[in-house]
Chains A and B, each alone.
Chain A
Amino acid sequence: MYAFEIERPSTIADAVKALSDEDAQALGGGQTLIPTLKQRLAMPATLVSLTGIGEMQGVCAGDNGEVCVGGATNHATVAAETAASYPGLSGLAGHIGDPAVRNRGTVGGSLANNDPSACYPAAALGSGATIITNTRQIAADDYFQGLFETALEEGEVITEVRFPVPEKSHYEKFVQPASRFALVGVFVAKYADGVRVAVTGASENGVFRWTEAEAALASDFSAGALDGLTVPADSMIADLHGSSDYRAHLVKVMTGRAVTAAA
């Protein structure tokens, strides 16, 4: 690692101020950033740790029944505290990485990084979540902008994520067996006004909504409703662990399983 300072602000305001320095970078749980720093692939002058900010911690219920998660809340906490209120989200958070990673990694860190194989982007997009930052509210549909690209501006901090709670939901993850990221992960959520299907791990453009499946499932929320659909393989990731054809195939299989398991 190159040398850097770490600041540990206790308020969002202080964090935002610290991040206004040109070479400052936000540090969530560090479960992706620290391995990157070890490889000397990043050279921040200052890391601004967000995990000590009380107002960014925890899970609560929003005014409209949403599940509101503080941006610095770790995965284990989300898994435990949403088990009753939003089991689909809880299940997703409870299978990220491994137990020790879940005790450190945060929802804000995951969404800010927008790894194309990370789990949280599927939950946010699949729930039509709202990403709250220190300056604004961003709809998930506008937030994800491709591989490691998001709508966040320099120095903008995810302070909270609001997840509308569906009637039924489930996240089905086909694990990449080395990294424990998703080789393909599909989040399916059935709301009163429609179904959302968000796919991670598969596309070269990052998390995406499988709109054909959403339409089919809106009228018939069963795995059988997907029978006639195919997922084009052209923009799918191909790597050591699976071809683009394989990933395209898995999208459909995982979607079907998520629908069947949705509760």
Chain B
Amino acid sequence: MAALGVLDSANLNGGQKLAVKYFAVSVALFGAQVLFGLLAGLQYLNPEFLFGILDFSVNRMVHVNAMVVWLLFGFIGSVYWLLEDESGVPVVGLGFGNLIFWIFTLAVVVVVLVYLLVQVGPGEKSSIWLINEGREYIEAPRWADIGIVVCVLGFFYNVAATFMKGKITGIGGVLLFDLIALAGLYLAGMWFTPNISMDQHWWWWVIHLWVEATWEVLVGCLMAYGLIKTMGVRRKIVETWLYIEVALMFGSGILGLGHHYFWIGTPEYWFTIGGFFSALEPIPLVAMVVHALFDAGHHKLKSNNNPALGWIIGQAFGNFFGAGVWGFMHTLPQINLYTHGTQWTASHGHLAFFGAYVTMVIAFFYIAVQKWRGNVWMSGNLVGAWKWKWAMFLLWAGMITMTMALLIAGYEQSQIERAIGGSDWMAYFAAQAHRWFTQAMVWRQVGGWMFALGFVLLVWDLMTIGKRETRSTYVIEPEMAKAAV
């Protein structure tokens, strides 16, 4: 047994050894997202910055793609993290899992290098096969699409086979089901059509049904595991609530797809479907917050991993504000007509992705480093606790600053460009030149720098937290023992 507080892979089980590899790449890509976000933000302030070298389109593409991939890596890592624990047996194909990890990572590196060095291609099929597909969030070229599906299926095989060999817990069952949907939905975005309405119709299947349905449920599984681990909440309760959330999330989220079908050529009946299910979508989020409070009241916020718990609590609130409040503010078609495709969307997107997903993955990073250092103490009076607290504060403050700035910009844009100007070229630039907009962009950049600082601190903290601790964490597992599976 390694000394307490030393990063030693002997502290980890097989799946967890693989998980920390995924986490490492995940953090690196998180850094790339922040970096390219900063560059893109600077181009709003100074359009000549890197013009013709790294154009906005390139920076923005890397910014959003890095996000999708780092969260995906974070999710995969988190699943490998809990896999042996949940199933009770070692990962069935660990070598295979490692192979997939290296292929996946290599593919991501190649894709990013091509984005940065080749950037665009001729208007031929070969370009979308080899360079980029030019479709927001899923720009990855077709070869990489196929690679992603193969990797995710390989990952799925590993998870499924491990659960089958061991025991399928409630969390495991939901996870398996969700991963099939996740891989299957990606296929909807993998074909070329000249028909942009058809294109975007299926494109939303991937984007919406990932982000507002399957990712939410995946995070629900991680949250369930996280609550058992950090607070010792009874498995039966956690799993019941996981099912409740699945029912509510999928019940409102699947047909909530309708709110993306207002303006892309799809029929008018989507107004009604989108409107109705958008009104339902906040309910699971409120349920989660209430239940979190209820739980907290029971457990008096006693946890063995304060940073992870802090980020998990942040998840409940971030998801509520980002997806719930920010989503509902502009989702009804009567107002969405003006906010669609403005910085409103950017404001909502930033807060929702951060609140719902980034928080959860960061919580898992902390759960991971704790065990990696031999179950080191991470509760009250932690040595060097200022780092995680300041990292958390700066990341949140930066994100809120960005969100608010973008909200103001979007509000102005929806009026000047959309409502008054009629969204033509002149109207667009009239809105972009407006003081509210230009000043908002400055504040967004300020928020971006704060966020970047928070990121640096987070990485530093993840590398050092618990290093100088000599106390071992107390084990929170009494309730686990009772858990019937």
- A and B are interacting partners: no
